[in-house]
Every structure is written in C-alpha cells, then in structure tokens.
A = this chain, B = another copy of it.
Amino acid sequence: MGMLKKEDAMQFQKIHGQLLRKHHLFSALSDSDMTTLMRGTRVLSVGKGEFLFQQNEEARHFYFVVSGCMKLFRTLPDGTEKIIELVPSNQTFAEALMFNAQMMYPVSAQAVDSSELFSFSNIDYMTLLKSSPDLSLVLLGDLSRRLRMRLSEIEVLSLKNSTHRVVRYLMTQIVDSDSEYPQFDLPVAKRLIAGQLAIQPETFSRIVHRLKEEGVIDMKGKEVTVLDRKALANYE
C-alpha cells in the first residue's frame, strides 16, 4: 500500500474530486468545506490482496473507492473469514465509526483487485458535521440505508436452504428490470460470492449447475443470463 507522489496525487484528486461530489456524503458540502476537507485527504494505492486495515485497529479514517474493489470481512473464531461487504468503486466505507470515541474497526479491509482510494480524516469530517446540520441529515439517511441493507443480509442468511440464498442473490443482481432475459456479470469471484452467502464454493457450484440443468439460468464464466425469470422468482 502506498501513497502517490505529491504531483501525481494532486492531478489524481483534480480528476476524481468531481466524481466525489456526486456521492451523497459530499454533495451537500459547500465548495469551501469541500476544499477544507480535501486538504486532509490522502490518495492511496492498494495492491491486490493487500490490507488497508485490520480488525480491531483504531479507526481514524474512512474511505472512498475510486477504482478497484475492497473486501470487508471479519475473522471468525475458527479462523475462517466471513465477508461482510464487497465495496465497488464510487462507494464509501467505514464512515459509520466516527461517531463513537476510540472506535476500532469491526472488520478487516483487503483489496480484492488493485484499488485506488481516497482517505478522509474522521476528525475533519466531524468538524464539518458540527457546523452543518444538513450534512448530518444526509449522513443519517446513509446509515439508515446501510442498516436496512444489513437487515436484508440477515434475512438471506436465515433463508432455509442454500438454493434460496443463491437465487435471492441472483435476483438482486438483476438491474435491467424490463428485459425478458436479463443479463449481468458476477461482480467478483464465485468463491467470494459463496462466502457472502455463507456457503461453500462447492455448494455454490452445484446449485448453479442444477439451475442451468433446469434451464432457469445460463452461466459462462462470470456472464449470467436469466432464461426463466418466473421460475427463478418462484424458488423464493
């Protein structure tokens, strides 16, 4: 993990700062506030497989993914890891921790692909928050949304069998809601998806095999085509 050289970093910020403004955590900021905040910002480059932070480290920063993909996970007592979230580009993470003093990261963060990140100081952002009630409301909305996301994750993990979990996962990946034969790419490696669903990679593979056999979906590598939307929905 490394920081870019200063001139490169500034160039990088200039380009991607605009992108940042589109994110709801920063869109409510005035230009001057944004400038202030960006002064404390670092640009980080994290190589594939590298760690950004470890579980139980003190949380002083939160992050925005410019490019790549980060994996947030907890290490379970038996040593295996449980993936909590896969954070794609243009999303923030670990911003929920700044409101409790002396907070530790409850997860570890590792780069799934080589990634570029903005890092923000919790203290700086808190200062902005105190002077801008509107920003607080935005952030409250953000956390509230995350809470509901976790809720549906808990629901998935409570589904009776693994097939239901896989089907539910596939359903959430369908963005093109109109098409009769929706298509999409799996965002990450299959073993990571299996991890998120708390099933073994082998089980995931077998379930996909069965769904293909039944003509419900097709899958070649990461390319997924839903062949029978109703049948897929009816698994639930």
Contacts and interface: CB of A to CB of B under 8 A. Distances in A.
A141 B84 contact: no
Contacts of A130: 133, 137
Contacts of A177: none
Contacts of A175: none
A153 B152 CA distance: 12
A146 interface: yes
Contacts of A164: 77
Q: How many copies does the complex hold?
A: 2
Interface in A128-183: 129-133, 136-137, 139-141, 143-148, 150-155, 157-160, 164
Given A154-B154, A155-B76, A147 B96 contact: yes
Interface in A52-86: 74, 76-78, 80, 82, 84
| Size category, A interface | 35 or more
B143 A144 contact: yes
Contacts of A99: 137, 140-141, 144
Given A84-B151, A99-B141, A129-B137, 19 more contacts: A76-B159, A77-B159, A82-B154, A82-B155, A84-B154, A96-B143, A99-B144, A100-B145, A130-B137, A133-B136, A136-B140, A140-B143, A143-B147, A146-B147, A147-B150, A150-B154, A154-B154, A157-B158, A157-B198
28 contacts: A76-B158, A76-B159, A76-B160, A77-B164, A80-B160, A82-B154, A82-B155, A82-B158, A99-B137, A99-B141, A106-B152, A107-B151, A129-B137, A130-B137, A131-B133, A132-B133, A133-B136, A136-B136, A136-B140, A139-B140, A140-B140, A140-B143, A143-B144, A143-B147, A146-B147, A147-B147, A150-B150, A150-B151
